[in-house]
Structure 1
């Protein structure tokens, strides 16, 4: 039986070898056109996150060093919360602006959230910032952050006054304006006078 199988396999192999295999095409397909890298501005989504002005932002944020902070514990003071990465364009410029904003508005809480707590880009940031990290992108996913950096400005009641992403002069102006508005806004828990 084994000899019969071996003979059949040999005959099949010989038959295939005699008829030959079809030749591979010798023409090389035309390469697809390659767009010049860096020639176009990045595409920014219509909405930077799934949270918008007026929403109350709730989160437990892991702080680098082992503790965590509840955003609700910051009621009564304005907050600038950034979810970013040090390799993003504008990282240094944004944090220079945040330092200026804290100089103008000492009650402003700035929280910088990055993916890696050992990120060397965090070295040299203002000690006035709360440095936090986002294990496995959980916060970025929770808020459906479309791109880095995404910044949330919260008023004293913990409500979002502005959500912006990216970095350029327009974002700088928008953040400066939003922080000034959040600082000037009513204190959390205050009752308006009639």
Structure 2
């Protein structure tokens, strides 16, 4: 009986010691990286910026790109935005482009959101959800990683800390 008590006590001590690490582990576990099938080409979508200019994956060949699918009503999307902005600034010199693709919201709603939050990432509009469908996005936020050759490499679903060491390794794969 005393052996069980000592063992239980040891387990509780280990759990208590690891408790401060739990939020980081939970944040990481809320997101998932899945590889893009090699046989599946990069979708040939065309999206529009607020100024009317258009963007296609082919127009970014030569630069690695992260396409972040988001919506202003999505709390995890809003929570993830600051780390995406920091990543964009930090890796801009390496040629990384981070583009925020808004899912099915009006330009007025997006302007209100960007004005109130200070979001300064380039925003593309997906008013019908066609780009999200083409990239297989069903969870928000989702971030599609495209390498310099224009090929999708992986998709990260769920809120993710883009300033983490793991994110640094993933982005380095694209550079």
Q: Normalised by the size of structure 2, how large is the TM-score?
A: 0.65
The residue matched to 2:81 in structure 1 has which SS? helix
Q: Does 1:52 align with 2:36?
A: yes
Question: 2:47 — aligned with what?
Answer: 61
> Per-residue displacement from partner, 1:118-146 (whole Å, max 9, x unpaired)?
222222112xx221111211112222312
Unaligned runs of 5+ residues in structure 2 are 1-29
Aligned to 2:70: 84
Q: 1:150 aligns with which of 118, 125, 142?
A: 142
- Matched residue pairs, number? 136
The structure richer in helix per residue is 2
Superposed CA deviations along residues 130-183 of structure 1, whole A, max 9, x for unmatched, are 211112111122223121111001110011222011114599655433212211
| Closer/same/farther in 2, CA of residues 147 and 172 from structure 1, 3 Å limit | farther
Which structure is higher in strand share? Answer: 2
Partner of 2:124: 132
Q: 3-state SS of the aligned residue for 1:133?
A: strand
The answer to whether the Cα contact below 8 Å between 2:65 and 2:97 also exists between their aligned partners in 1 is yes
Query: Contact 1:79/1:154 (CA < 8 Å) preserved in 2?
Result: yes
Instruction: Please list the CA deviations of residues 7-48 of structure 1 after superposition, one character each: whole Å capped at 9, or x if unmatched.
Output: xxxxxxxxxxxxxxxxxxxxxxxxxxxxxxxxxxxxx8x997
In structure 1, stretches of 5+ residues that fail to align are: 1-43, 184-194
Counterpart CA distance in 2 for 1:56 and 1:152 is 13
What is the CA-CA distance between 1:111 and the residue it aligns to?
A: 1.0
Larger CA Rg, structure 1 vs 2: 1
Give runs of ≥4 in structure 1 deviating > 3 Å: 53-56, 168-176
Equivalent residue, structure 2, for 1:182: 174
TM-score normalised to structure 1 length: 0.60
